[in-house]
Structure 1
Amino acid sequence: MCQTQLGKLQKRLKEVEATGAAAFAVSIDRPEAARKLRQNFNLTFPILSDSKMEVTRAYQMKGERMEMSDMGYVIIDRQGIIRGRRIDRSFADNLKNVLDILGQLRTAS
């Protein structure tokens, strides 16, 4: 997982939460590694372990070149419908895209 992008997401987490959304990360690392990452970088959002890559495959976030997940985001509404998905190695730098979609969902509900 890209520690830089997770740190940037943490800095803007309140903006995400202000839309009524929750943020979490999914990692193919073991749970112990995710726990250390949260502690070392003071991350307040959950990091879920997906060591068998079931979630990664289900949301089509598997990298094409390697047996690992790609970085990006998936936006799922309260009914479980995917409203946005993008492979984006700089997802936190491009958080405006996510916030725009979340704002539209909030306005529509």
Structure 2
Amino acid sequence: MDACCNPNRSLNAKAVVGRPAPKLTLDAVLGNGEFTKVTVGEDQGKWTVLFFYPLDFTFICPTEIKGFSSRYSEFEALNSVVYGCSTDSIHSHKAWLKDLGELKTPLLSDMKRELSRAYGVLIEEEGIALRGTFIIDPDGILKYASINDNSVGRSIDETLRVLKALQTGELCTVEWEEGGETLGKA
């Protein structure tokens, strides 16, 4: 049984919804292939959407990365930045961009596995991340966490819906959609 399906795998999380999000500075590749550094959660008054994926050059991952990139303007309109992250190197990310094409979403390199471990998505035995999606508010507080098995891609529509709901600052009921009624402040 591989580690992604092994109930005995070890995951150690430091990220807790409602508390300050773990902050680490990582090497990254911008969508145009340039190298830079990014400190997750320090985006100067913006919301941060951080999504982890297992590996470059795989099957589901490019559909998610291209999906987030193609809808980047929607995230940008919501005063947010989006980062993809895996345990691959920046050189692997850059090589993969040749297949993916130019992206609007920077790809972070978590070679030391510190960020993946801090967010509780690292499969220690394999050295790769589960598919995790996290939303951090402009004050650096983790507001949302969702972790999937690696066999299932995530919904960008749902990520946008949750981001919009969080930005209301109000209680949002099941299936809440933008413009829908809320239950007011908590």
Tell me by how many angstroms 1:5 deviates: 1.4
Kindly provide the CA deviation profile for residues 69-94 of structure 1, in whole angstroms up to 9, marking residues without a partner as x.
Answer: 11221111111111111113412xx1
Question: In the aligned structure 2, how far is the partner of 1:39 from the partner of 1:47?
Answer: 14
- Structure 1: gaps (5+ residues): none
Q: Deviations over 1:20-57 (max 9, x none)?
A: 11101111001101122234322121111101110001
1:28 to 87, 90, 97: 87
Does the aligned pair in 2 maintain the 1:28–1:53 contact within 8 Å? yes
Q: Conserved in 2, the CA contact under 8 Å of 1:74 and 1:82?
A: yes
Question: Match for 2:135: what amino acid?
Answer: I
TM-score normalised by length of structure 1: 0.84
The structure carrying a bigger helix percent of its residues is 1
What corresponds to 2:162 in structure 1?
101
State which drifts further: 37-46 or 50-59.
37-46
Q: TM-score, normalised by structure 2?
A: 0.52
Superposed CA RMSD: 2.0
**Are 1:37 and 2:86 matched, yes or no?**
no
Moved more, 69-78 or 10-19: 10-19
Question: Is 1:80 the equivalent of 2:140?
Answer: yes
Matched to 2:165, the amino acid is: Q
In structure 2, runs of 5+ residues without a counterpart are: 1-54, 56-60, 171-186
Paired with 1:37 and 1:78, the residues of 2 have a C-alpha distance of 31
CA contact (8 A) 1:20 1:106 kept: no
Write the distance in 1 (CA, Å) between the matches of 2:112 and 2:127: 11
Of residues 106, 109, 131, the one that matches 1:46 is 106
Percent identity over the alignment is 28
Partner of 2:120: 60
Higher strand share: 2
Structure 1: distance between partners of 2:125 and 2:64: 21
